[in-house]
Structure 1
């Protein structure tokens, strides 16, 4: 069950009292990307014209940095095309990807001429190879375009705009020889805002011999409604990792790209949260138990309300593997459920044991009718519904821009999924569901002035969050248990990270030591055991 419409934080910490480690320096602006490099004990930060390697244990300490401005020729060309020299015609480092342990792949806008380069990490020192290549589709032209990317097994999957005008959205795979991209037609992508991309290793323990899948989350202009004004809708799209495109139809294009709507609202409510803002994949030991957490806002909200919904793998798979497709009805001039039988093999299906037995060893062997259907019918009729058919959390007058989730085992061995949410005003909310009711345990002001949270990363092993606004990076512990001075305060906080240690008589993070004498009661906040 979701909580009441407005969860008020139970505890609020202002910026001064939070005493956070902060990285900021003169000229630092437009922090666009963060990469946690646990093995090198670094946080790599992409900003405007520069990349920084910070100490993962204390981000206020810079270990090394690389300047990477756009060349003068690019800046002049960009300015000639009517862009602002000081704002648009710079190099915004939007993507930092791990290719191997010591090798990163970094991409920037490069004054409306996107470029990517390799960068090595050695003993804390970052160094660009200084052999950048034009990288259309791997990074946006304009820093204002939305962008999401991931490297999976040496391949870069990136979603952004593919031309100077920003009129050609693209989701592509590149780096190795087998580059693929989306078809450039409106039914595939229509004015999308790309949010998140990730891999689910569905080949593991698959009796059908299934492939790994890449999932892309975005919002776009809905093609299924015939309204006068543009209605946005949130989507999840899926492609097969082993996709090689089609032989005659969809050559060098995705032969498996299918998409479905995502719903996040209360049943019978006329108030949909239709614009997805961010996604986090909470991985479980078995991929079938993975859960996608997503934050949404509403296109029509005057108060800027936000909701958090969760989507299970089972719900997503059911729609992708069993649902019908939508088709354009010429008579009624609108999208309707296709009543024709689907071609065989089913469009969007990855190569598995059954298809291999039928002679389809790769996507290049798929019949034209399957690919022709997919080319014009990528949209599924059914929408993916959230768990319990409603949000887990709704917050008024707040825009949640970023989300991460951490699964914590309390002293009673019960597991809690703790949700950390960054807001557009520079606050961090920490929420968890206890006996079916969602609490915002704490709100922390993380920046001295109002700035949006642009990036939020978690290091579960270190118990630290790394958060950036356009002008700074801060490090926030997942819990500051020492702020609870008495056993009663400690237990009543109902924070799964914190428990009262009867030996030292202090409130401590349960990860900090093994103790036989913890007092904690997350479920009921019962402090009667306190001395």
Structure 2
């Protein structure tokens, strides 16, 4: 079997694909046509290549790669057992180069996640390739067993290897720890070291993109996932800092304080930082220092020194991330789409809390994309088509980046959503399009204050109403679900419209749930008006008014005298009472059933023929008219309703 592990656009007409090839890696070019509508998709049999160093042998092994020009940079295991890991350059005109083999200081059981090209300056000779992976830390403390660290590694694109040492090996390879942790008291930080996915968000300056990465924990005690953001300035600062060095009687990792040779290891040979034209011209002491010191001492810390978005004690783990930079009326916002291992996608927006240097995440939506709860293993975002593509092992889904209509039909709901894709246009919540002038358009992602934006909304004070009925002694559920995930629900109660409202107090009989309030063992005093309020961002609005009417148990069961005209008049809505509560109560005794049927039959029906006095009820001549009456009353004509039900009703 051939599991495709690498797939890149090679040029305008071809794709480059590599697969496991039944434990014999193979790569090939696929002709896809110059335009998407062309029905061309075929394999070129004359350009099939060996996939060793590009695709793993085993489909369970991870791999990451990037195609830069005609060169493929891949992080992969190059043997069948998955023990020889390497960062490999292939294709192109330059010689193939890899990392040092079987050296745990370079790579120690890595799991490659992503690879990106980031320019360093205007000179293309300064371009660097950055690898993101997790591995078993060599600098871990003794006695703690295996510890996984997240890493970022760098290599120069024009690296040609050494002349006498590190021949056909990287001479500019360096790596640093990628930290994503929640600061704790006394320095006891909670670390997220299991790197899962990385997204490179391009900015106006191609040399300084933002790095969005998702992490999970390896601890069996604490479970959670986090999103951390890194800047290229912090990454470059770590690689320009001190090198990690192992010395001392206990061989502890410390900061190297000796002399660093020139040119500094990790610098690319170019006219920008020196006079060396190739890495083969580097002095031997530079090559030897780079060989024994690939690890940096200082880690790369996230922006703000803490995770941007965190989810703990939830029944899922983050798997993939895609980020879209959206232009809104009051600035630019980054919208995060996060896939999970239960087939859901979270939509999160990052807004400034007090200033643009301190961001606050808001969870806008949580969609169940795959009904079989299969993990999201791929997320691709198309800003041009406004679509998000999510893939799993069983399906592929296309999702719109914005669903403005889901935020309700009122200006306040659209404003409180704080979705940079959406704005209130005077009538509906619709997509916000920059550079278009609309008189009634309202949007404020940063503050989201409906008191300012929606003062003239005519539907602001209209509240939907619903009628509910409950049987005394049974349970009633008051459902109210806000449109926004950040809203806090408050319930108030009043006996009549003229009575003052008071907050509903929760106890053992009145239970709050995620979808509303459950009244256990309903009492007569529970009847009245219930109002559901949503409080968010300092703004409170009523969402739903529920009118609860409590019916006595003796009315619902029909045990009381059926011939009492006052009782018949006291039943609110004969058909509503009969149909709604017949399924809620237990089957009444046979005698009570006959009385209820006789009473319902007497309303608007001709009187039934008298029962024959011969024989007890249910036998002889008296049984047929009663059965016939029951069928006509509750089942309708046999020809219309089909076979007779086994139920006594």
Tell me if both proteins adopt one fold, taking TM over 0.5 as the criterion: yes
* Cα distance change, pair 489–163 in 1 and its aligned pair in 2 (3 A): same
Alignment partner, residue 142 of structure 2: 227
Q: Does 2:262 correspond to 1:344?
A: yes
| 1:223–1:335 CA contact under 8 A, matched in 2 | no
Distance 2:222 2:40 in 1: 46
Cα distance in 2 between the residues matched to 1:193 and 1:480 = 36
What is the aligned counterpart of 2:351 among 410, 430, 434? 434
Cα offset for 1:274?
1.2
Residues of 2 paired with 1:356 and 1:494: CA distance?
50
1:152 to 47, 52, 68: 68
Partner of 1:29: none
Partner of 1:119: 30
Q: 1:54 maps to which residue?
A: none
The verdict on how the C-alpha distance between 1:493 and 1:221 changes in structure 2, with shifts beyond 3 A counting, is same
Residue 278 in 1 paired to residue 200 in 2?
Answer: no
2:431 alignment partner in structure 1: 509
Is 1:290 aligned with 2:209?
yes
Conserved? CA contact 1:224–1:336, under 8 Å: no
How far is the alpha carbon of 1:129 from its aligned partner? 0.6
What does 1:124-273 correspond to in 2, within 5 Å?
124-130=39-45, 131-178=47-94, 179-184=96-101, 185-204=103-122, 211-228=126-143, 229-267=145-183, 268-273=187-192
Q: How is 1:34-113 mapped onto 2 (pairs within 5 angstroms)?
A: 90-113=1-24
TM-score of the superposed pair, with normalisation by structure 1: 0.79
Q: Does 1:473 align with 2:382?
A: no
Residue 327, structure 1, aligned to residue 238, structure 2 = no
SS of alignment partner, residue 436 of structure 2 = coil
Give the drift of 1:153. 1.3
Do the aligned residues in 1 keep the contact of 2:148 with 2:193 (CA within 8 Å)?
Answer: yes
Once the two structures are superposed, residues 207-227 of structure 1 have per-residue CA deviations (whole angstroms, 9 ceiling, x without a partner) of xx8611110001100001233
Q: Deviation of residue 177 (structure 1)?
A: 3.2
Residue 292 of structure 2 corresponds to: 376
Contact preservation (8 Å) 1:112, 1:142 = yes
- TM-score, length basis structure 2: 0.65
Number of the residue aligned with 1:60: none
How do 1:294-333 residues align onto structure 2 when only pairs under 5 Å count? 294-321=213-240, 323-329=241-247, 331-333=249-251
Q: Is the 8 A contact 1:452 1:469 kept in 2?
A: yes
Residues 307 and 395 in structure 1, CA contact (< 8 A), matched pair in contact too: yes
Displacement of 1:463 in angstroms is: 1.1
Q: Secondary structure at the residue paired with 1:247? A: coil
Q: Which residue of 2 aligns with 1:12?
A: none
CA distance in 2, matches of 1:326, 1:220: 17
Runs of 4+ in 1 over 6 A off after TM superposition: none
Q: Quote the residue 1:500 is aligned against.
A: 424
Aligned CA RMSD, in angstroms, stands at 1.7
**CA displacement at 1:483 relative to structure 2:** 2.0
Matched-pair contact (CA < 8 Å) for 1:411–1:518: no
1:401 to 309, 316, 319: 319
- Bigger mean CA deviation after superposition, 306-315 or 118-127: 118-127
Q: Deviations over 1:271-292 (max 9, x none)?
A: 2111111111111111343110
Contact 2:328–2:434 (CA<8 Å) still a contact in 1?
Answer: no
| Contact 1:521-1:527 at 8 Å conserved across structures | no
Give the unaligned 5+ runs of structure 1: 1-89
Larger radius of gyration: 2
Partners of 2:119 and 2:207 within 8 A in 1: no
- How far the C-alpha of 1:353 sits from its partner, in A, is 2.0
Q: Do 1:355 and 1:361's aligned partners in 2 also have CA atoms closer than 8 Å?
A: no
Structure 1 residue 513: Cα displacement: 9.1
Deviations 1:15-37 (A, max 9, x none): xxxxxxxxxxxxxxxxxxxxxxx
In structure 2, runs of 5+ residues without a counterpart are 354-359, 458-649
Q: 2:411 aligns with which of 472, 487, 497?
A: 487
Match of 2:378 in 1: 455
SS in 2 for 1:395: strand
In structure 2, C-alpha distance between the alignment counterparts of 1:481 and 1:439, rounded to whole Å: 16
Indicate the SS of the match to 2:398: strand
- Aligned: 1:521 with 2:444: yes
Whole-angstrom distance in 2 between the partners of 1:354 and 1:468:
43
- The residue that corresponds to 1:72 in the other structure is none
How far apart in 2 are the matches of 1:356 and 1:289?
22
Separation of aligned partners in 2, 1:511 and 1:224: 51
DSSP-derived class of the 1:105 partner: strand
Work out the CA distance in 2 between the residues paired with 1:459 and 1:473. 15
Q: Assess if the C-alpha contact under 8 Å between 2:195 and 2:216 holds in 1.
A: yes
Distance in 1, matches of 2:412 and 2:244, equals 57
Higher helix fraction (1 or 2): 2
Change (3 A) 1:269 1:420: farther
Q: Which has the higher contact order (CA 8 A, sep 6+)?
A: 1
Looking at structure 1, the residues matched to 266 and 169 of structure 2 have their Cα atoms a distance apart, in angstroms, of 13
Cα distance in 2, alignment partners of residues 425 and 302 from structure 1? 21
Q: Deviations over 1:245-273 (max 9, x none)?
A: 11111111111100001111123343211
| C-alpha deviation, 1:333, in angstroms | 2.4
